[in-house]
Amino acid sequence: MTTASLESAPKPSRARRASGRPPKKKLPWGSPAVYFIALIVIALTLAPVAYIVLGGFRDNSQLTVDPAGLPSPWRVSNYGHVLTSSTFWREFANSVIVGGVTTLLVIALGVSASFVVARYKFRGRGLMFGLFAAGLMFPITVAITPLFIILDKLSLTDSLLGVILPQVAFGLPTTIIILVPFLQAIPDEIEEAAAVDGCSRLGFFFRMVLPLSLPGVLTTGILTFVASWNSYLLPLFVLSKTSSFTLPLGIQQFHSQYASDTAAVLAFTSLSMIPALVFFTAFERRIVGGLQGAVKG
């Protein structure tokens, strides 16, 4: 596997070009049966999402009388109320802060640690990689109770930092394992050439490694952000003041507070899923490409 992972890492970009699809050429139509199956699958996958989004345009009497109906008439007041409520925007901001800072820190710490593992030769390097790889065996679900106690001792409960730092820690193993093959795949010649031109190891890191590992960085960054945006268990344990709630907690809170106002809950819920969806949709191709190196058996 050792060599295999090394060889496979640069493949994403090469494979796409080599698979020889001129980007402009139009793809052929598939058979109707294939589209029919695809249509059914899409209908099933989108139905719950459609229910949430459309439900936000209805009112509660519509929802009670005909739970599976379409909005008639369409009402925008639910969305209006959510968009003008300070609670939504505060929770939105908290989620953006947590997601953004988590992603930046995971990338910063992850890339530099991966660089060390991939390109420095020293005793304990294997141990370091093993340590991070072993981290995959400790999902946050298992660690949540003691983690809460530790955060409590550090007075980090009820602060966004108390969510960010554990998320960074639990995001590092993935990041490092995806990035190390990318960094190892950078040919030694480039580093030597850089050294001849008077570039230090660190200079090489900033000028060559960061740009060259961008596909891997993007993949891990997107996955980290989406996971953080959706994360529920950790904030549930760590944050108890409503002022520090992130959106997933906000949805739950809103749901229990306005249990009878289903339409408002649906509007709130559908607005809070937009950022992760936009983010993922924009970068979907890159994720498949970035994972390729990792999937390689």
> Closest approach of Cβ 159 to other proteins, in Å?
14
By CB under 8 A, the residues from 124 to 143 that bind other proteins are 125-143
Select from 226, 220, 230, 225 the least CA-distant residue to 287: 220
> Closest approach of Cβ 243 to other proteins, in Å?
19
Per rule CB under 8 A, is residue 81 in the interface with other proteins?
Answer: no
Total number of residues binding other proteins (CB under 8 A)? 133
Helices of type H across the chain? 2-8, 11-18, 32-55, 60-65, 77-84, 86-119, 125-134, 140-153, 160-184, 188-196, 201-204, 210-212, 214-230, 233-238, 247-257, 262-272, 274-295
Smaller CB distance to other proteins: residue 16 or 75?
16
Per rule CB under 8 A, is residue 176 in the interface with other proteins?
Answer: yes
By CB under 8 A, the residues from 16 to 35 that bind other proteins are 19, 21, 26-30, 34-35
Per rule CB under 8 A, is residue 166 in the interface with other proteins?
Answer: yes
Per rule CB under 8 A, is residue 10 in the interface with other proteins?
Answer: no
What secondary structure, in 3-state letters, does 215-274 show? HHHHHHHHHHHHHHHHCCHHHHHHCCCHHHCCHHHHHHHHHHHCCCCHHHHHHHHHHHCH
By CB under 8 A, the residues from 207 to 236 that bind other proteins are 220, 223-224, 226-227, 229-233
Per rule CB under 8 A, is residue 296 in the interface with other proteins?
Answer: yes
Give dist(CA 87, CA 245) in Å, integer.
9
Stretch of 49-57, 72-80, 84-92, 96-104 lying at the interface with other proteins (CB under 8 A): 49-57
Per rule CB under 8 A, is residue 49 in the interface with other proteins?
Answer: yes
Stretch of 48-56, 71-79, 85-93, 210-218 lying at the interface with other proteins (CB under 8 A): 48-56
CA angle 292, 296, 297 (to 5 degrees): 155
Q: What Å distances lie between residue 104 and 132, 164, 183, CA to CA? A: 19, 11, 19
By CB under 8 A, the residues from 193 to 212 that bind other proteins are 201-202, 205
Give dist(CA 20, CA 3) in Å, integer.
26
Stretch of 3-11, 71-79, 85-93, 96-104 lying at the interface with other proteins (CB under 8 A): 3-11
- First and final C-alpha spacing in the chain: 7
Give dist(CA 289, CA 297) in Å, integer.
15
> Closest approach of Cβ 128 to other proteins, in Å?
7
Smaller CB distance to other proteins: residue 1 or 73?
1
The DSSP call for residue 208 is: I
Stretch of 1-9, 79-87, 96-104, 210-218 lying at the interface with other proteins (CB under 8 A): 1-9
Binding mask 275-294 for other proteins (x = CB under 8 A): -xx--xx--xx-xxx-xxxx
